[in-house]
Structure 1
Amino acid sequence: MSIKLIATDMDGTFLRDDHTYNHPLFDKVFRQLERHNVYFVAASGSSFPRLQREFKDYVNKMIFISQNGSVIHLGNQLFKSFSINQEALARVIHILDRFYGPNDINQLVISTSEKSYVDQGMSARDFEIVKLFYEQVERIPDIRKIFLQRPSEKFTKISINFANHIDLKNVAATLDGYLPPSLIMENSGFNTDLIGNAAATKQNALSILQHHFKLRTNEIVTFGDNENDLGMLAMTTQSYAMRNAHSIIKMQAAHITQNDNNHDGVLQTINALIKNNH
């Protein structure tokens, strides 16, 4: 059985808890993947500019699924994106304002394929956190009027980081019945929900890449740790839940990594797979 493509989630999976990774080991592994013509895909809930920064020396040789599947890049080139229509975006903002107050939401981020926007009133601390995950971030006077102020923009994702006293299970129960059918909401970890086009999932993005590169399902390896990775993990018999993943994620994956995300779990597993498959 040969491997042609490896797709891995980022935070909690490929990246350590401090958002770093083992650069020397990655360079060694990446060279081996190149030698065997294996595509390497970074699949994340965060933005493409953030992934560009994380992999600045490898961007042109990698594939990126960002914003939970809303945006796909082949190297630096935008390959496909799924936008949210303005009416649906306005509906989401209305629903959030109806059920949640300013003390319930820490960060509200609205993104295009290349840029993200936040409210002018966001705290300096929250703004720094948002920049870590989205990189290209602009403050605007009123985030709730963005769809009126920028009618020609193609928005791709809404990210809501809720305060610790908000239970995401209750959020899902509350919002699911009110979201337009054209949208999907997924838990991205860290008490954050991502809302985007219903077709914009990591699983669908990976399926698009599978079709584009004419790959068989058993030629794809996937890694993940959270709810938004489940579809991707279910695609292939070569799926790996992280040692540190929730038990539900481990039950859905075909395998569990020997090491967790803080001990190079993804890279160590890829190393072993290369030795065994080539």
Structure 2
Amino acid sequence: MSIKLIATDMDGTFLRDDHQYNHRLFKHLFHQLQKHHIHFVAASGSSFPRLAREFQPYIDQMDFISQNGSVIHHGQQFLTAYPIEVTALERVMHILDRFYGPQDINQLVVSGPTTSYVDQTMNDQNFAVIKLFYEDVVRVPDIRQVFSQYPDEQFTKISVNFAPHINLNKVAAVMDGYLPPSLIIENSGFNTDLIGNAKGTKRNALAVLQQRLHLADDEIVTFGDNENDLGMLAMTARSYAMQNANPVIKLQAAHTTAIDNNHDGVLKTIEQLLKNDA
């Protein structure tokens, strides 16, 4: 078996639009992956607790790349994180306050490796959405003071969900001009930008796992649908953009899945790969 690792993005890729997946088919395929000693990696912009919930029965047999690569786990074992300096965090908040008002931002989340923080003024509807993607969420009196309130926390990512009238291409242009060079901003879909350590990308995180497992590039299969997956997709000739992905993403990947995320596109592709690679 020439495939040794399969890494997949979650929302818009592995998961359906209702944030569910085919548990019966996954259970069958996961057993096959273990039989052939193929590592399965969930790579997402959301938090580790959310991924641990999604894959609870398999958690100790998987690897997890969360927060777009800022946090890496082997099963439940924390491997590494790429924190953001407090001065850089404060700079991000200053930039957001300068260019965007409350009507422009729906959700602002500041995360550590496992715990995420939101302002106590966030309404219940937005808080429910945040809980879906981050699981372990704490309301704080003032999100802009969270760095001093939790001085021992290693903050790893800022997530900004913008209102529909905000153009993310323009956001990237603005932020790139003001962000410290130590930070990177990536589109994570759903009109959301993730800002974090420039080293905290899915590509770099996957490279950490690749090195640990002593794998060649052509032994890795990757799946993705969005801008934050491009680095990971570029790592290997066995990369797959989803059928439902943006045309730009499809151009960057080596292959495109025959089926979209709402019809088990990742799982059906893995099933075919296992047959072809047997």
Q: Is the 8 A contact 1:156 1:196 kept in 2?
A: yes
Provide the C-alpha distance between the structure 2 equivalents of 1:21 and 1:162, rounded to a whole number of angstroms.
27
Give the paired residue count: 278
Equivalent residues in 2 for 1:71-150 (5 A)? 71-150=71-150
Provide the C-alpha distance between the structure 2 equivalents of 1:153 and 1:132, rounded to a whole number of angstroms.
22
SS across alignment from 1:89: helix
Give ranges in structure 1 of 5+ residues lacking alignment. Answer: none
Deviation at 1:167, TM superposition (A): 0.4
Equivalent residues in 2 for 1:99-248 (5 A)? 99-248=99-248
Deviation at 1:149, TM superposition (A): 1.4
Provide the C-alpha distance between the structure 2 equivalents of 1:153 and 1:75, rounded to a whole number of angstroms.
22
Q: Percent of aligned pairs with the same residue?
A: 68
SS across alignment from 1:46: coil
Q: Which residue of 2 aligns with 1:36?
A: 36
* TM-score with structure 2 setting the length: 0.99
- What is the letter of the counterpart of residue 224 of structure 1? G
Q: Which residue of 2 aligns with 1:252?
A: 252
Provide the C-alpha distance between the structure 2 equivalents of 1:88 and 1:69, rounded to a whole number of angstroms.
18
Q: Is the 8 A contact 1:158 1:194 kept in 2?
A: yes
Provide the C-alpha distance between the structure 1 equivalents of 2:160 and 2:101, rounded to a whole number of angstroms.
13
Deviation at 1:150, TM superposition (A): 1.5
Q: Is the 8 A contact 1:107 1:160 kept in 2?
A: yes
SS across alignment from 2:206: helix
Deviation at 1:264, TM superposition (A): 0.4
Q: Which residue of 2 aligns with 1:54?
A: 54
- What is the letter of the counterpart of residue 199 of structure 2? A
- What is the letter of the counterpart of residue 15 of structure 1? L
Deviation at 1:256, TM superposition (A): 0.6
Give ranges in structure 2 of 5+ residues lacking alignment. Answer: none
Provide the C-alpha distance between the structure 2 equivalents of 1:221 and 1:152, rounded to a whole number of angstroms.
37
Provide the C-alpha distance between the structure 1 equivalents of 2:62 and 2:116, rounded to a whole number of angstroms.
22
